[in-house]
Chains A and B, each alone.
Chain A
Amino acid sequence: MGAFIPLMIILIIVITSYTFVKQSNSRTKKFIYGQRLRWMLSSYVIVLLLGGVTFFILPVQDFPETSVVSEVEDRVTNEAFIDNFYDSAFEGKIDEVDGVVVSKHLEFPFEEEELFLENVTSDYGGIMMIVEKKEGVASEIIATHYSTGLYIQGEDFTEKLSSTEITLSNHTLTVIPPEQTEIRIADFGREFTIAQFAEKDGSDLSTTASLSVQRMGHDIIYVIVPEQVEVTSTSGNIHFINDETYVD
């Protein structure tokens, strides 16, 4: 089916071009001619010119550019960062990572001896939880939502992300992942006739921008619980550090 669409388009163009300009001796009715035609074309040009002027007035010239950083270089640094994000988390040193985003930080007073963890998964999957039993923490549970944030083309879109819902009731800590955030972004591509001759990156005829999406959507819920509290759970995707007693 998809293959027919270009054919259809070509057909449409052929037919319209032809019907507009066809000449014949037969008696035909024309609606657009003479003064009316000239008016129509002039208004068309005026609308286009206004569009052009508006374009240069709009602050669109400040948007982050695609292909500023080379894609490969970009991906390497990106992957290194994400690896570091997880590695540090498992080592309990996540707060030492540069550039990590704290989306939510909650402290719950907790006097109980048992804690039940519930990690809810949404349609799009769940969030990784890391639980650390810490000495010297008494009567409170600290839950922090760390994320890598959202950087597209170096621009910070973190604000767009909604945070995880974390609640403590009785002795159950519930983590509910947020509704998946829909982000729609327009990428203004250069027309191929500019791309081919512009100095920046030569003959690039691809229609899709070489877009670098950095540090997107990596989240960890880091939970610190007092050492003496016994933690149980039936949910998956929960990791413990400093706790050998935990049983699934």
Chain B
Amino acid sequence: MNVIECKELSKVYGNTNAIEDLSFTIEENKITGLIGRNGAGKTTLLKILAGYLHKSTGEVNVLTEDPFNSLKVSSNMIFIDDQMTLPESLTLLEILHSAKMFYKNWDMDLALRLFRYFSFHDNQLHGSLSKGMRSTFNAIVGLSARCKLTILDEPTTGMDSSVRKDFYRALLKEYIDHPRTIIISSHLLNEIEDLLEDVLLIKEGNLLLHKSVDELKEMAIGLKGKSNVIKEIIQGKEVFYRNTVGKDTTYVAVENSFPNELLQRAKENGIEISSVPTDDLCVYLTNRTKGGIDDVFNRN
């Protein structure tokens, strides 16, 4: 079953396209990472999926329904981000009890254990929490709700690294025990990469790729060597990144579709072959120009 189906989905704000012609599907019980730079349209996309915002054109189905104004989607979905508005006069404990009323799969035991583990106090107010603590609390709500679709929009904003690690581990354990469809958005891949099954990479509102993490890891290959040799090898291939170091050495991240023998020969010709870390690859893919920041300073 497909939990999410988007077809040529667009969202226009005034004259700008926040999202353009997005088409993808997300299957049941997968953890998908939504990766893109700040302002790439991640949050807009997620809010459309959550039913908060209208689509402009195209089609969007969540749990086989248009999510906007759908009670079915709302009751089977939870959207967590650091902007979550919670009543100011409820204590954290009261908020957990309120959440319990809304979500039929809610696990109070889990919520309370996490609550204690991250050393929250019953009578604290959501408004008095620091940014990191607030994100942590929201994340607890998100995990304990056990919704069929869990959307986490930059869930770790403000968390320190040990809390982040704990959170990811908690997320994974929860997922193993109670598989569900999870979408995590982030501008960084490396932290969550191992957690993910699929990656959805967007750039300026457009879908760049939707692949499994493993495919992404094998998608590109890094070659380093004499500039002219490199130039010859990569002819006709898609180059994601190119950088010239020293007098005559070039590094390229290039699409990995070389036959083994060719690589073997390249090695024999003094080309260093390496794999491209997915994180770097995402940066290359989402860069506005091929050369990255260097192009700005390149006045020739």
Instruction: Give residues in A with beta carbon < 8 Å to B.
Output: 22-30, 32-34, 37
Contact = CB atoms under 8 A, between A and B. Distances in A.
Most buried by B among A27, A28, A30, A37: A27
Interface of B: 83, 85, 87-91, 94, 123, 125, 127-130
B180 to A, nearest CB: 28
Among A23, A24, A37: residue with most chain B CB under 10 A: A23
Nearest to B82: A25
A30 B94 CA distance: 15
A33 B85 contact: no
Residues of B contacting A: mostly: loop
Given A33-B125, A34-B123, A28 B90 contact: no
Nearest to B125: A30
Contacts of B125: 30, 33
Majority secondary structure of chain A interface residues (helix, strand, loop or mixed): loop
B1 to A, nearest CB: 36
21 contacts: A23-B85, A23-B87, A23-B88, A24-B88, A24-B127, A25-B83, A25-B127, A26-B127, A27-B128, A27-B130, A28-B88, A28-B128, A29-B128, A30-B125, A30-B127, A30-B128, A32-B89, A33-B89, A33-B125, A34-B90, A37-B89
Contacts, number: 35
B96 to A, nearest CB: 13
Contact of A34 (B91, B128, B130): B91
Nearest to A28: B127
B89 to A, nearest CB: 4
Given A26-B127, A28-B127, A33-B88, 7 more contacts: A22-B88, A23-B85, A25-B85, A30-B125, A34-B90, A34-B91, A34-B123
Contacts of B123: 34
A166 to B, nearest CB: 71
B85 A30 contact: no
A64 to B, nearest CB: 48
A34 B127 CA distance: 14
Nearest to B93: A34
Contacts of B83: 25
Contacts of A26: 127
Nearest to B131: A27
Contact of B94 (A22, A27, A34): A34
Given A23-B85, A25-B83, A33 B128 contact: no
Contacts of B129: 27
Contacts of B87: 23
Contacts of A33: 88-91, 125
Contacts of A34: 89-91, 94, 123
Contacts of A29: 128
Nearest to B87: A23
A59 to B, nearest CB: 43
Contacts of B89: 30, 32-34, 37
